[in-house]
Each structure stands twice: as structure tokens, then as C-alpha cells.
Amino acid sequence: KAGVTQTPRYLIKTRGQQVTLSCSPISGHRSVSWYQQTPGQGLQFLFEYFSETQRNKGNFPGRFSGRQFSNSRSEMNVSTLELGDSALYLCASSLQGTANEKLFFGSGTQLSVL
Amino acid sequence: QKEVEQNSGPLSVPEGAIASLNCTYSDRVSQSFFWYRQYSGKSPELIMSIYSNGDKEDGRFTAQLNKASQYVSLLIRDSQPSDSATYLCAVNTGSGNTGKLIFGQGTTLQVKP
């Protein structure tokens, strides 16, 4: 079974631009969560999607948005990029997104904002 | 106060020793607790989960949970150099039975041969 796939692996953008990151969960997994990882803040929860609906949200500004498609694939968008958005963005999937479930992480997208 | 707190370390132990990693959390209603391991340049992977008070053992790993004290710990017995990694404590704070896993900053463990 293929793991969680994130594309692209690396991205370089400039301030003010927008970016879209993609995540394909493990086949059969319906929950997708997104995290931002930086050396200073660690892993921070962005949002969680299940059946095309955002069920949980972290404390990020509205510039960060996401969506999930009917095949459970998810995209994350960041508009009006700031230097502080430079980070590793990790996507994780699980079967139903229940509280006890294990998360399977992708390899991440490394975003650099210049 | 952060929702999940860990000492960032590094925690250095000699090979064969017991490594003790600690974590506190602020949400009293949390019911699910996890330890993930992250090697440098890699993604986190689950090593232990615990849901009720007490100890849970899996091989060389023991997770301990004390909900009254809002405290979770991970013991690694017979530490090996391959255990050198960052250990992330995670607590589920989602509403109902949904997933919203909040991670601590992580504790870096160094096992010296």
C-alpha cells in the first residue's frame, strides 16, 4: 500500500505570492490533517478534513486554507506569503480521524519564502 | 501556557541506560495520548499510544499516563544509538471523537555508544 504522498517536495516563493500544496492520503483513509513544522515552534496543527468537511482548525490566520476532494485528496493554500511562512508542511492521514487513531505522515513540502 | 509541554533537551544517555522523557498537557478532558519519534530529516512515526491511567509496555518502550497530574512519560530501556531522535508527545484535543492532535516541541534524545 502506498504511503501518504505530498507534492511538491520543495517550493521557493517570494513574499506576497500564494502557494498550493497537495496531499494524497493512504488508500482508504478519509481523514487528512495538515501541520506546519518550524525549528522554533515545532509541529503546529493547521486543520483536519474528513469527508470534504473541515472538522478541526488550529490557530492560524485566514491566509491558510484547505480543502478536501471526494477522493480524500487534500490541498492546502497559503495566500499573501510572508517570510515567517517558511516551514516544512506535513500532511497526515488516518482511516476515520477519530481520537484514538494513528496518524501516518507524508514526507512533507519544504516551503521557502524569500 | 502551551497545550503540550516537553523539555527540549538534549537528553543524553549512555548506551544501555534508561531514557526518561516527560510531557505535561493542559486540556483536562483529553483522552488520547501518543508518542511519536522523528529522526532528523524524516517524518514523525508513532511508537506508542496510551488512553488510560497507568503503564503500557511495548518491547523496550513503556508509556505512563497520569490524568490527575496531566502527565505523560515515555521510558526507553536498554537505549541504543539508533534511538537517537526527537520524541514528540502528542495529545488529542478534538471535539467529540474527532482527531486534533496537538504536539509538544519534542525532546531530542542522544544515546552515546
pLDDT (tens, 9 = 90+) of chain A, 114 residues, equals 789 999 999 999 999 999 999 999 999 999 999 999 999 889 999 999 999 999 999 999 999 999 999 999 999 999 999 999 999 999 999 999 898 899 999 999 999 999
Centre a 10 Å sphere on the Cβ of residue B59 and count the other Cβ atoms it contains.
Answer: 10
The partner residue sitting opposite B99, judged by closest CB among A42, A99, A105, is A99
Query: Could you tell me if A97 lies within 8 Å of chain B, comparing CB atoms?
Result: yes
Q: What does the pLDDT look like over B19-56, one tens digit per residue?
A: 999 999 998 888 899 999 999 999 999 999 999 999 99
Asked if A113 and A11 touch (Cβ cutoff 8 Å), the reply is no
Which of A83, A50, A40, A47 lies closest to A62 in space, CA to CA? A47
Write down the pLDDT at residue B1. Answer: 65
Q: What does the pLDDT look like over B71-109, one tens digit per residue?
A: 999 999 999 999 999 999 999 988 777 889 999 999 999
Write down the pLDDT at residue A2. Answer: 84
User: Looking at residue B11, what DSSP letter applies?
Assistant: E
Asked if A91 and A74 touch (Cβ cutoff 8 Å), the reply is yes
Write down the pLDDT at residue B58. Answer: 96
Residue with C-alpha cell 522523528? Answer: B38
B43:A35 CB<8 A: no
Write down the pLDDT at residue B19. Answer: 97
- Grid coordinates representing B38? 522523528
Write down the pLDDT at residue A54. Answer: 95
Written as one letter, the residue type at B73 is S
Q: Which of residues 48-77 of B touch A (CB under 8 A)?
A: 49, 51
Helix (H, G, I), strand (E, B) or coil at A106: coil
Spatial separation of the C-alpha atoms in residues A64 and B38, rounded to whole Å: 25
**A114: exposed, middle or buried (C-beta count within 10 Å: 0-12, 13-18, 19+)?**
exposed
**Cα distances (angstroms) measured from residue B29 to each of A90, A94, B91, B110:** 26, 22, 10, 33
Q: Which of residues 39-68 of A touch B (CB under 8 A)?
A: 41-45, 48, 50, 55-56, 58
Nearest residue in chain A measured CA to CA from B8: A42
Q: What does the pLDDT look like over B5-17, one tens digit per residue?
A: 998 889 999 999 9
Centre a 10 Å sphere on the Cβ of residue B15 and count the other Cβ atoms it contains.
Answer: 12
* Region at A39 (left for phi over 0; alpha for psi -120 to 50; beta for the rest): alpha
